[in-house]
A and B are shown apart, each in its own frame.
Chain A
Amino acid sequence: MTPATLIARKEAGELLFSLRGLAWLLALCAALSVFTLLLIGSTELSLLDNAQVVYDMAGLITVMAALLAIIIGIDATAGERERGSLVPLLLVPTPRHNILLGKLGGILIAWAAMYLLSVPYVWAVGSTGQNLGEGLALVALLGTPVVVTFGFIGLALGCWVPSSRAGLMTGMIALAVSASPLLIGPSLRQSAIGRIFDTINPISGAVNAYDAVIIDSQAILAQWPGMAVTLIWLAAALMLAVAGFNRLSA
């Protein structure tokens, strides 16, 4: 087994066997439960078209996964440094990029767990409507680069900031700014600034593709411009994380 795989397994173990990791997954389930109950139970929301409901759930899952990725990323670097367990890992005879890859592996395993947990919720609210399968496939296809991007941002922040608390604050602000296209109204998104922001935003690429495929029934492959923006952000976040890992010190 390679060092990266071993570290990824360790990170996954930390998520599944430690109270901290399980608490995050429970929080995710609680949030999805509340949102699902609202969609089903609220008189007005229950009138939404099923495709719209799947689209809303897809956006929510992506943003929550990005949130989890940034938290796990910061915890895997700044958190481990504070707990004193990072230095022994840095002193292992393996290149730093293997440690980075292993940490990323842990984030991807967390994303896989989160995705699997969210499938029953999406099925519960959207099983009778159109494009449920396409929606789920798209969340896996486009959600993954978004999660990896924010995972790298979290790992990089954890390397650069002095404490995990400062990292979490910065990460939350970065995520709130990135997720704002989901929060601002359609009219604001149509303004010049809104359009620019929408174009260069890593989450917008995924969310706009969900809109096009789930609601407008367009082909998944036609969504490559949005994917390209997300991939550019992914590359930038990767460079930041590599630079951060190379400067990681005791």
Chain B
Amino acid sequence: MDLLTIDHLSVWIGDRPILSNVTLNVVAGEIVGLLGPNGAGKSTTIAAALGLIPRRAGSVNVLGTDPDRARSSVYRDLGILPEQNGFYDWMSGDEYLAFFASLRGEEVTPAETASWLATVGLGPTKGQRIGTYSRGMRQRLGLARALIGDPQLLILDEPTNGLDPRGRHEVHELLRALAARGTGILMCTHLLDDVERLCRRVAVIAEGRTLVEGPIAELAGAAAHPDRYRLRLSAAPPNAGAVEGLRQVKSDGETWVVDLDPGAVADAVWRNLICAGWRVEEIRSEGRGLESLYLSLTDLPKRKAA
């Protein structure tokens, strides 16, 4: 069942196109990652999908309804963690959640607000003023607000922003559990690691357009370079073309990108490099499919030149 469908969405602000062709969809029980560089239009896509900014063309369907026509009814079954996520510092976390639950027409008991706080790891902070919360605690509270009313669809803009590793892990577990219960989740993030851990499908947008959308396994598989590594050297290599096991070597200014011969054992090649006088400071695998895909798609100058 499609919970969110964005089809050829176009948004202009003044006479400037911000989004020109964005397409993506989220079905029940899946977590979809929305990726893109800064200024690509991710948050604008979410705002337009929610009816917070007017669209120029294209269609948006949230839970079977166009949010421009019935905003209130759409918001009832929707949980949202927006990019701009401010709080009322003078309230406590439980008062804040009770306030938003009441605005949704839900009668809440202190036990329920305590349970929401506990779900996002803020259980011990009951009664503590939000003004004293850390950035990570605020992020968790925003997530708790999005979960009020057990929504069918969650739209989360950078949900793990500001969280420590344990917090990130807990949020990952929470999102997995929600998806397993049938909640559809659109997660807008910069963190490829989050997407790889949580999402089955991904959409990459840049300059206001959807560049690719589909299952990560398919997209990343096509872009994978399992034998590609990025090397940081303290001096230029003395004999870049004459090391056994190396197929291709090129510099991008600060680092060197090397492709190994098919079948070459990486450890043996690194030994050869050092014996040949390469002064290697760092070796990083470029073979991860999603990262390769993302980097190649969002290398806009190169794409334009092509």
* Chain A residues close to B by CB (< 8 Å): 1, 3, 6-7, 10, 13-14, 17-18, 80-81, 83-95, 249-250
Contact = CB atoms under 8 A, between A and B. Distances in A.
Interface stretch (B26-34, B100-108, B114-122): B100-108
Contact of B90 (A1, A18, A93, A95): A18
Interface in B61-92: 72-76, 78, 80, 82, 84-91
B84 A93 contact: no
Contacts of B54: 249
Contacts, number: 74
Interface stretch (B45-53, B269-277, B297-305): B45-53
Contacts of A13: 88, 90-91
B145 interface: yes
28 contacts: A6-B99, A6-B103, A7-B103, A10-B88, A10-B99, A18-B89, A81-B84, A84-B84, A84-B86, A87-B85, A87-B86, A88-B80, A88-B142, A88-B145, A89-B103, A90-B52, A91-B52, A92-B103, A93-B73, A93-B104, A249-B47, A249-B52, A249-B53, A249-B54, A250-B43, A250-B47, A250-B52, A250-B82
Contacts of A94: 72, 103
B147 to A, nearest CB: 13
A85 B131 CA distance: 13
Given A17-B90, A88-B86, 14 more contacts: A3-B103, A6-B103, A10-B88, A13-B91, A83-B86, A86-B84, A87-B84, A88-B145, A91-B75, A93-B73, A93-B75, A93-B103, A249-B52, A249-B53
Contacts of B75: 91-93
Contacts of B76: 93
**Residue of A80, A90, A91, A95 with highest tally of chain B CB at under 10 A:** A91
Given A93-B72, A249-B47, A86 B86 contact: yes
**Residue of A85, A88, A94 with highest tally of chain B CB at under 10 A:** A88
Contacts of A250: 43, 47, 50, 52-53, 82, 84
A84 B81 CA distance: 12
Sorted nearest first, the 10 A-B pairs with minimum C-beta distance are A84-B86, A85-B86, A84-B84, A93-B75, A250-B52, A250-B47, A93-B76, A17-B90, A83-B86, A92-B103
Nearest to A83: B86
Nearest to B98: A6
Nearest to B73: A93
